[in-house]
Amino acid sequence: MELDQNPETIPPARLLIGPPHGPPSVAKTIFWNDREFRAGWRLLIYFLFVFLIVLVETALVKALHLPQISVAGVTATSIIVQDGISLIAVIVAAGIMAMLEDRPLGGYGLPSESAFGGRFWQGIVWGIGMITAMILLIRAFGGYSFGELALRGTALWGYAVLWGAAFLLVGLFEEFSFRGYSQFTLTTGLGFWPAATILSAAFGALHLGNRGEDRIGALSVFVIGMFFCLTLWRTGNLWFAVGLHAAFDWGETYLYSVPDSGLVAPGHLLNSSFHGPTWLTGGSVGPEGSAIAFLVVGLAAVLFVIVYPAK
């Protein structure tokens, strides 16, 4: 592993959360390790900061009457608002923790010097490639039809850009939430892959809250989450995963116009349709609920390990 900041080789924290001086005690053992607050306590403090920041942001969104995701469905603008404020919350909370822990914010997975650089665009290519492979394989077995264009003219390009912005925020928010500060911190307590497994399981479980999602779809999200962790392990930061995540969701929702984790949104390119058994198409879940998804992600993981060898 060659992470931009390896949690296992960092020096002890020097500010506020370092262990107190004095002889060992029960409280000291419960709250501190030999360098700082234990990982679980730091994660709890981080989540508290996120919660408080989101409370303030939500009040502002309601006061300003900005678009919000509701039971009626999702739109690109509502995703931009929701994931935009959520991204601000997790970044600001991580910034506070970075000061408390005396660590650079970029060490939690999104170093500014790598922002939207080569790894990000490589992830974009992989994301489009993976969703395209899924759709074409489902089509090869008779489960997908492209249909006709649903958009034309300025609406076509306008929605392409709008959904691009929306899913960029989704990629940044979800990757940093599950594989940024949380992954870094749990790694210091449990090790990289146990932390990755726990957080990817949470990533999949939370998707069960989407209308149209099911257990197979959530399991697929878990597997995809573990693949994202592999890209973090091999590339050293989250920029590849952000690009892949954003491009995959954009291709799913806009380009191929199919359900994304059970969600169907307006402003998609095609009047496409699924037909055939659920194991093939994913049904209401979309391609992520298809057996094809597990095949494509598995093959992508093998290819990724070959293209990005361990250092």
Residue type, 34: D
Q: What is the mean pLDDT of residues 187-207?
A: 94
Q: pLDDT by residue (tens digit) across 272-290?
A: 999 999 999 999 899 999 9
Looking at residue 13, its pLDDT comes to 44
Q: pLDDT by residue (tens digit) across 200-228?
A: 999 999 888 877 778 998 999 999 999 99
Given a cut of 70, is residue 70 above it in pLDDT? no
Q: Where is pLDDT greater, at 16 or 275?
A: 275
Q: Where is pLDDT greater, at 145 or 36?
A: 145
Given a cut of 90, is residue 311 above it in pLDDT? no
Mean pLDDT lowest for which of 11-20, 221-230, 295-304? 11-20
Q: pLDDT by residue (tens digit) across 72-105?
A: 568 899 999 999 999 999 999 999 999 999 899 9
Q: pLDDT by residue (tens digit) across 113-153?
A: 999 999 999 999 999 999 999 999 999 999 999 999 999 99
Looking at residue 8, its pLDDT comes to 52
Looking at residue 21, its pLDDT comes to 73
Q: What is the mean pLDDT of the chain?
A: 90
